[in-house]
Amino acid sequence: MDGIKYAVFTDKSFRLLGKNQYTFNVESGSTKTEIKRWIERFFGVKVKAMNSHRLTAKSRRIGSIVGHTIHYKRMIITLEPGYSIPPLSS
């Protein structure tokens, strides 16, 4: 589970729960096949499809130093019918 950072709870992610889709932020270097294996092993579910996109880095300033937030990917994972992730399901 090193590649999965945390589950995302936004308005869109709550709407997607009704379609049996779950949203996670993952390490930027992780591949779809790695994430699929981790999800299937850790939660004991079958993954039907996965969509990913990179979120843009936001600028942050501390005094005169300008930096950026951490880069990561967001994965929307669709499960096979009949499967769910209990701690995240509505």
Confidence of residue 5 (pLDDT cuts 50, 70, 90): confident
> How far is 79 from 82, CA to CA, in rounded Å?
8
Average pLDDT, the chain: 88
Domains present along the chain, CATH in parentheses = 4-79 (3.30.70.330)
Token couple for 14: 């709550």
CB 20 within 8 Å of CB 84:
yes
Q: Which residue has the higher pLDDT, 9 or 70?
A: 9
What are the distances in angstroms from CA 9 to CA 6, 29, 40, 44, 68? 10, 22, 21, 21, 22
List pLDDT tens digits, range 10-36.
Answer: 999 999 999 999 999 998 888 899 999
